Amino acid sequence: MGHPSMSTQAVVFSGVDQVEIQQINVPPPAAGEVQIQTHFSSISSGTEGWALHNEFTWAATPFPAVPGYQRVGTITAVGADVTGWKEGDAVMATMGSWTASPVPFWGSHVGTANSKLEHLFRMPAGVNPVDAAATVVIQVGYNAAYRPYMEPGDWVVVYGDGPIGQFGAQAARARGARTILVGHRQMRLDAAAAHSADHALLEAADTVEQIQALTGQQHVPIVIDTVQRPQVQAAYMPLLEREQGQIVYSGFSPEDTWASMADLHKSELTTHYISGITRPRMEATLDLIAAGELRLEPLISHRVSYEQAPQMYRMIDTRSEPFLGILFEW
């Protein structure tokens, strides 16, 4: 027996800098899809902010669009040719799937919606669904810490106090590294010191000297750069030893160029570039979330109803108050 169409609430980017709550139509799940009732979704403030402003250099935002790419919920219906999933399963999903306007870009800030099986991830036993609501962003931090060569006890310096920097520091600690996070927002540095890193430093003219004093050495083996700005790279380059140091560029940047290739060439450093997701990394991240090694919940500054989405995006845009993790309840 087929499932009827239904309507649901969604966060909609209706135009540049325009955010609305709209009632949208949800079709029955097609073949190879499941329908998910969302419990929590979380904002990726950088990526979604660029989408709202239509600032990506490589992809125009298809207004009107439903944003978001990480939500957790329960399967309420399955389409044809779906095996291994059933109604009642707890899932994490990365993208919505439908063709009517407003289109999914990427379609996670929605009360109920369909997702293709390739965008579906099983929730491990014991996982906190609030933590899992940021699995995509947490996975970027996980990848930043698990990509470079690292030994237990190594010092890892993370530049950037946003979610990716926080999760990169958490993941490095999960590998046994000693971690220093550098940022410029005191609220986020306090959160890092409490939940993500061994040390949190306010960025200053003498940051390199402070790091050298903490580590007792001139160089560190790894810098994770989640900021991706030329002036930031210039600041941390003295920490990296020629032929030995590693830089991990983690996350997206709306810019085409942010690194000095001349500096990298002359220093003969090893560089790693981190973005996007893969199924093995997502599953490994969910396992570490279930183990309590990677946590969103203590970093949440705003846990609100989805109905407050317009205010949350305005806050992100204007920086009217400090924020870190932002979670929508549905």
* Residue 280 forms part of a structural domain: no
Is the same domain home to 38 and 159?
no
pLDDT at 108: 97
Q: What is the 3-state secondary structure (H, E, C) of 78-105?
A: ECCCCCCCCCCCEEEECCCCCCCCCEEC
pLDDT at 256: 61
Is the same domain home to 178 and 303?
no
- Quote the CA–CA distance of 256 and 237 in Å, as a whole number: 21
Is the same domain home to 150 and 266?
yes
Single-letter code of the amino acid located at 265: H
Backbone angles phi, psi at 288, to 5 degrees: -70, -30
Q: Which residue, chain included where needed, has tokens 């540049």?
A: 16
- Quote the CA–CA distance of 206 and 326 in Å, as a whole number: 32
Is the same domain home to 29 and 159?
no
Closest CA to 94 of 124, 142, 135, 128: 135
pLDDT at 275: 81
Is the same domain home to 111 and 152?
no
CATH number, domain containing residue 255:
3.40.50.720
Question: Highest-confidence range of 17-21, 45-49, 276-280, by mean pLDDT?
Answer: 17-21
* Residue 58 forms part of a structural domain: yes
Say yes or no to pLDDT of 217 above 90: yes
Is the same domain home to 154 and 58?
no
Is the same domain home to 206 and 92?
no
Rg of the Cα trace of the chain?
Answer: 20
Closest CA to 113 of 231, 239, 22: 22
> CB count, 10 Å around CB of 102?
22
CATH number, domain containing residue 56:
3.90.180.10
Say yes or no to pLDDT of 141 above 60: yes
Cβ-Cβ contacts under 8 Å for 308 (sequence gap 6 or more): none
Domain assignment of residue 197, given as a range: 136-274
In 3-state terms, the chain is what percent helix, strand and coil (to 5)?
30, 30, 40
Handedness of CA 196, 202, 203, 206 (dihedral sign): negative
* Residue 283 forms part of a structural domain: no
96-138 pLDDT per residue, tens:
999 888 999 999 999 999 999 999 999 999 999 999 999 999 9
pLDDT at 258: 67
Is the same domain home to 269 and 170?
yes
- Quote the CA–CA distance of 258 and 295 in Å, as a whole number: 29
Is the same domain home to 44 and 164?
no
262-266, 291-295, 317-321 — which is least confidently predicted?
A: 262-266
Is the same domain home to 142 and 257?
yes
Q: Residues 237-251: what's their mean pLDDT? A: 94
Is the same domain home to 75 and 85?
yes
Give DSSP secondary structure letters for 236-259. Answer: HGGGS-TTT-EEEEES--SSS--S
245-288 pLDDT per residue, tens:
999 999 766 566 667 777 788 889 999 998 889 999 999 999 99
Q: Return left, alpha or beta for 119; rule: phi > 0 is left, psi -120 to 50 is alpha, else beta.
A: alpha
Is the same domain home to 205 and 149?
yes
Closest CA to 150 of 173, 180, 167: 173
Task: Count up the domains in the chain and report the number.
Answer: 2
- Quote the CA–CA distance of 290 and 135 in Å, as a whole number: 11
* Residue 218 forms part of a structural domain: yes
Mean pLDDT of the chain: 94
Kindly state the DSSP code that residue 53 receives in the 8-state scheme. H
* Residue 282 forms part of a structural domain: no
